[in-house]
Amino acid sequence: MLSPQSEFRSSPTDSTSTLSNMATTEFISLTFPNASNELKPIPGAGVDPEFLVRYARSLDDYGYNYTLIPYGSTGFDPFTLGATVLAKTKNIKIIIALRPNTLYPTVAAKALATLDQLSGGRVVVHFIAGGSDAEQAKEGDFLTKDQRCKWPPSSMDAPPINHLHYQMVG
């Protein structure tokens, strides 16, 4: 059975087959806010705090390294769900799915940095471009997917902003 920090060797007796850089296996999960999922949807299900905490603690107890906190226009706030997971676990890191055009960049940066500091460095961000133009439009972002996918360039510059009420400077 593999543990989250397993070493891989092709043969226990042949030292020449030992990998020079021992590989580390990391386990990643997806956290749901309730028992509803794609296979067994529960229409209109709200956040189930007991389910969320039980699920997150199970991941932590079984040695998972990360859990993705998903984002969707009709879903729950990933920062709040992530904060709950962090507060109720000891080791697992959360991956916050973030669509750059749905939140002011400075607000997102502050929220991520705050969660990361409060959790002792257990926060990772996953920038997503959005599944479809219609899904993204529900959040007020009317860039096409092609336009959204042009970011990020080779560096982590600010994403393209499509809002009349603010603009990025510097």
We report the CATH number of the domain holding residue 56 as: 3.20.20.30
| Encoded amino acid at 35, one letter | A
Compute the distance between CA of residue 2 and CA of residue 25 in angstroms, rounded to an integer: 8
Mean predicted confidence (pLDDT) in 101-121: 91
Per-residue pLDDT at 158:
53
170 falls within a domain: no
Mind listing the pLDDT tens digit for each residue in 116-148? 999 999 999 998 877 788 888 888 888 888 877
In a domain, 4, yes or no: no
The amino acid at 39? L
Quick check: is 159 in a domain?
no
Residue spans of alpha helices (H) in the chain: 49-61, 78-88, 105-118, 133-137, 145-149
Q: Does residue 165 sit in helix, strand or coil?
A: coil
For position 157, what pLDDT does the model report? 54
Domain of 75, in residue numbers: 23-36+44-149
What pLDDT sits at residue 20?
55
Q: Which long-range contacts (CB under 8 A, 24 or more apart) does 133-138 make?
A: 135/72, 135/73, 136/73, 136/99, 136/101, 136/102, 138/73, 138/74
pLDDT at 73: 85
Q: Nearest-CA neighbor of 71 among 111, 119, 117, 27? A: 111
Starting at the earlier edge strand, list the strands of the sheet with 93-98.
Answer: 28-30, 66-69, 93-98, 123-127
Q: pLDDT of 36-94, one tens digit each?
A: 988 999 999 999 999 999 999 999 999 999 999 998 888 899 999 999 999 999 999 99
Q: What is the pLDDT of residues 24-36, one digit of tens each?
A: 889 999 999 999 9
Can you give the pTM of this predicted structure?
Answer: 0.74
Q: Is residue 165 part of a domain?
A: no
What's the pLDDT at 152? 54
